[in-house]
Amino acid sequence: MTSRVAWLTRVTRKRWLQVGAVVVIFAVAAWGANRLLERMVVPQTVQQAAPTPTAPAASVPHIIATLYYGTSDGQALAAVKREVPLGDGPRAQGRQILESELEPAPEPFHSLIPPGTMLRAFYITDRGDAFVDLSPEVSTMHPGGSTNELLTVYAIVNTVTANLSSVERVQILIGGKQADTLAGHVDLRRPFERDTALVRETKATE
Amino acid sequence: MVLLLISGPHAQGTAPTSPLTLITRDGRRPVPTTILNGQEFIALDDLASLFQLTVREDTLAGGVTISYKGRTIVASADQAMASVNGRVVTLPAPVARVGRRLLVPVDFIPRALAPIYDSPIDLRRASRLLIVGTVRVARVAVRLDAVGPPTRAIVEITPALLVSTGYDAGRVLVRIETDALDAAPSPAPAGLIDQIQTGTPATTIAFALNPRSGTPRVSTTTTTESTRVTIEIPLAAQSQDTNTAPAPQPAQPPSPAAPVPTPSSAPALPGAAAARLQTLVIDAGHGGDDVGVRGVKGTLEKQITLDVARKLKMLIETRLGVRVVMTRDDDRAIAPDERDAIANNSKADLFLSLHANGAPSATVKGTEVYYLRLDRAGEDARRSVEATELVLPVVGGATRPIDVIRWDLAQAAHIDASSRFASMLEEELEKHGPMGPRPLQQAPMRVLSGANMPAALVEIAYLTNADQEQNVQSGDFQMTLVQGIYDAIVRFRAYLEASAAP
């Protein structure tokens, strides 16, 4: 009886060792493939990123993303190319892009998302609906007014849809829940499609 | 015994010219007084019921004990004084008796009762007001500056308060946003003013004009201390002045013949019953904890929207005879759905939401008009309204078509009319002031989506612009905006009537 138990234990251990070996081999292979892909993709994007001086640490691979800010005259949205850390897949990339969008805007643009706002979660459904879950500061610290509110909403919506081709619509959540509005005007209950009506072509120097 | 002695010689009092008016937050009511020996007295039982006092006659001590929440006043029956929680105060006369009633001098209220009462009590002898609690009372003085013609009357209101003015059926109405008026006696009417009435209705001053009068010009100026309304009344022959308060009917081309002095107000009232625009809902944006945009100098959007909404209401009610429902008429928070529900339940024909704007840059300024943009779900809802019509039987054997639409997309069925109304607003407002960088926009505005009637939203000015923040507080600027909105509503009413005509 005892020898049978010892045997079973030995066999189980052997099986686990085999499984572990396979896992390690796969992990090494995936890492190698990833490195290879990065070498193929990243140098190109980094070159494009050169004009924007706000690039973070150079060791992390980056992509060039289009982020939306308020134009210097405060009347419209400006599409601004910025370096954003490379993310693994659309969801991780979306997170990186939104994290960058939440950072202060480069001169001379205006940030449209209230300071202190954090990205709580970001996910994409199979139907192409993205959910941007922001901390309550996006509403409680919002300066208000229809113009400010429309600019904030479409800065987020356009930033997500311009960079992630798999996203068709964007729903903004606040504190994990569906919200009525940011500050009393724009209806947040349903998802938004990309809208460039508020976007103004800006000169490269702006 | 002692009381009987005092009251002996003057058992009968005479009524003064007018009673005191008690003003509390709940309203106003008259409090009768009696004149005895040249002194004005008030009955203790009246005071007891008004102020929840307990009155006990103390024959041994020779006086009356009045209690309120454990605090006591002992009023002497033979000396003109009272002990208030142990402190002695003097009174113009001792307690008196008329028949079975005990009376105290009116000064008993400020001198003895006020010190022990929970709420402030203020007796204003000149205006005969007894004000209890934190009630806003405006001091009002009317004077005639020029008999004329033109006749010029000035209403001085202290402190500075929101005032709405209107002209209707030969009367200029000055309504002051306060709980009560402390009005000095009005001067005798003169010139083109036939009558000056103060306080009927409660916080309104009405000037009845002579039939020879032309359209009056009313302007409001506000300083930090007071608000001044100037009313200038020309003779009818001089009334072609284009700056007069009521605007001409905008939809009509200018006539080459002599202009009619009051074009829109006079014919509007008889036709009002037949008009399709019978109820308008004005939605003053934000309120309560939701202050809206805060200007650099601290101006709050919620206050500006309410000020303008009240002025617009007054103008429309007095000149168009249209019923106006406000989603809020005080400083409180209301959810967007509740605002829509008020409009829908009032069976309103038109919904107008008033807001003040904010932009990331202080240079942005001007008025902007919005109507609803539908998303895909809204477009689907609109198509389904157009395509399907549910026909239900009604009493009498007939049938009636019913539109079925999701309640939160009620606006979908009215987008075309809303677009028309918004365009009219933009066109009329443009005549009265600067427009913003996007004067007319379609956007997914939350408060418009559930309104089951044509609806638009006006962002009256940018509070983030210092000049506009200052302007928007002035009564004149607000009236200019109100006039533009009013003109658009007149046009939209004509549009509704034309579309309803067979």
What the block records as the tokens of B78 is 């033979």
Within 44-73 of A, beta carbons closer than 8 Å to B belong to: 70, 72-73
Residue type, B118: D
CA distance B149 to B239: 12
Within 419-448 of B, beta carbons closer than 8 Å to A belong to: 436-438, 443-447
Sheet holding B204-209, edge to edge: B163-168, B171-176, B204-209, B193-198
Altogether, the residues listed in chain B come to a count of 502
What pLDDT shows up at residue B396? Answer: 60
pTM: 0.56
Among B340, B440, B446, B464, most A C-beta atoms within 10 A, so best to mutate, is B446
Within 133-152 of B, beta carbons closer than 8 Å to A belong to: none
Model confidence over B137-150: pLDDT tens digits?
788 888 888 887 78
Q: Are B183 and B158 in contact (CB under 8 A)?
A: no
**So what's the ipTM on this one?**
0.73
Residue B461, pLDDT > 90, answer yes
Query: Cβ of A73 and B444 within 8 Å?
Result: no
Within 444-483 of B, beta carbons closer than 8 Å to A belong to: 444-447, 449, 457, 459, 462-464
Contacting residues of A for B469, CB less than 8 Å apart: none
Chain B interface includes A143 (CB < 8 A):
yes
- Which residue would you say has higher pLDDT here, A159 or B182? A159
What residue ranges define each of the domains in chain B, with the CATH number in brackets? 2-132 (3.30.457.10), 137-242 (2.60.40.3500), 272-500 (3.40.630.40)
Residue B281, pLDDT > 90, answer yes
Confidence of residue A204 (pLDDT cuts 50, 70, 90): very low
CA distance B95 to B66: 12
Model confidence over B65-91: pLDDT tens digits?
898 888 889 888 888 888 888 888 888
Q: Which residues contact A125 (CB under 8 A, 6 or more apart)?
A: A131
* DSSP conformation class of B260: P
Pick from B335, B362, B370: CB nearest A146: B370
CA distance B316 to B425: 15
Chain B interface includes A203 (CB < 8 A):
no
The number of C-alpha atoms within 13 Å of A165 and in the hemisphere containing its C-beta is 0
DSSP lists the bridge partners of residue B74 as B65, B83
* Mean pLDDT across B386-408: 61
CA distance A60 to A50: 14
The full DSSP string for B171-229 is EEEEEESSSEEEEPPPPPP-TTEEEEEESSSTTEEEEEEPTTB---EEEEEE-SS-EEE
Chain A interface includes B333 (CB < 8 A):
no
Lowest-pLDDT choice from A54-58, A201-205, B332-336: A54-58
* Mean pLDDT across B154-167: 81
CA distance B232 to B216: 6
Model confidence over B477-496: pLDDT tens digits?
999 999 999 999 999 999 99
Q: At B365, is the secondary structure helix, strand, or coil?
A: coil
What pLDDT shows up at residue B50? Answer: 85
CA distance B92 to B80: 6
CA distance B383 to A196: 25
CA distance B180 to B199: 8
What pLDDT shows up at residue B199? Answer: 72
In angstroms, the separation between the Cα of residue B423 and the nearest Cα of chain A is 18
* Longest Cα separation, chain A: 85
Model confidence over A50-72: pLDDT tens digits?
344 444 555 789 999 999 999 99
CA distance B356 to A86: 41
Residue type, A139: S
Q: At B438, is the secondary structure helix, strand, or coil?
A: strand
Q: What residue of A is the nearest CA neighbor of B287?
A: A184
What the block records as the tokens of B74 is 């002992």
What the block records as the tokens of A170 is 């964007």
Lowest-pLDDT choice from B106-120, B148-162, B238-252, B304-318: B238-252
- Which residue would you say has higher pLDDT here, B396 or A161? A161
Residue B472, pLDDT > 80, answer yes
Chain B interface includes A178 (CB < 8 A):
no
Contacting residues of B for A183, CB less than 8 Å apart: 292
CA distance B502 to B416: 19
Q: Which residues contact B134 (CB under 8 A, 6 or more apart)?
A: B25, B119, B120
If you average pLDDT over each of A190-204, B167-181, B456-470, which comes out highest? B456-470
Chain B interface includes A147 (CB < 8 A):
yes
Within 241-300 of B, beta carbons closer than 8 Å to A belong to: 285-286, 290, 292-294
- Sequence-distant contacts of A102-110: CB under 8 A, at least 24 apart: A105/A69, A105/A70, A105/A80, A106/A52, A106/A54, A106/A69, A106/A80, A106/A82, A108/A72, A108/A206, A109/A69, A109/A70, A109/A71, A109/A72, A109/A78, A109/A80, A109/A206, A110/A69, A110/A70, A110/A71, A110/A72, A110/A74, A110/B360, A110/B361
- Which residue would you say has higher pLDDT here, B102 or A44? B102
Chain A interface includes B356 (CB < 8 A):
yes
Residue B331, pLDDT > 80, answer yes
What pLDDT shows up at residue B201? Answer: 66
Among A77, A187, A193, A195, most B C-beta atoms within 10 A, so best to mutate, is A187
Model confidence over B176-233: pLDDT tens digits?
877 777 877 788 888 888 888 887 667 888 888 888 888 888 887 777 678 888 888 8
Chain B interface includes A146 (CB < 8 A):
yes
Chain B interface includes A184 (CB < 8 A):
yes
Among residues B151, B35, B187, the alpha carbon closest in space to that of B103 is found at B35
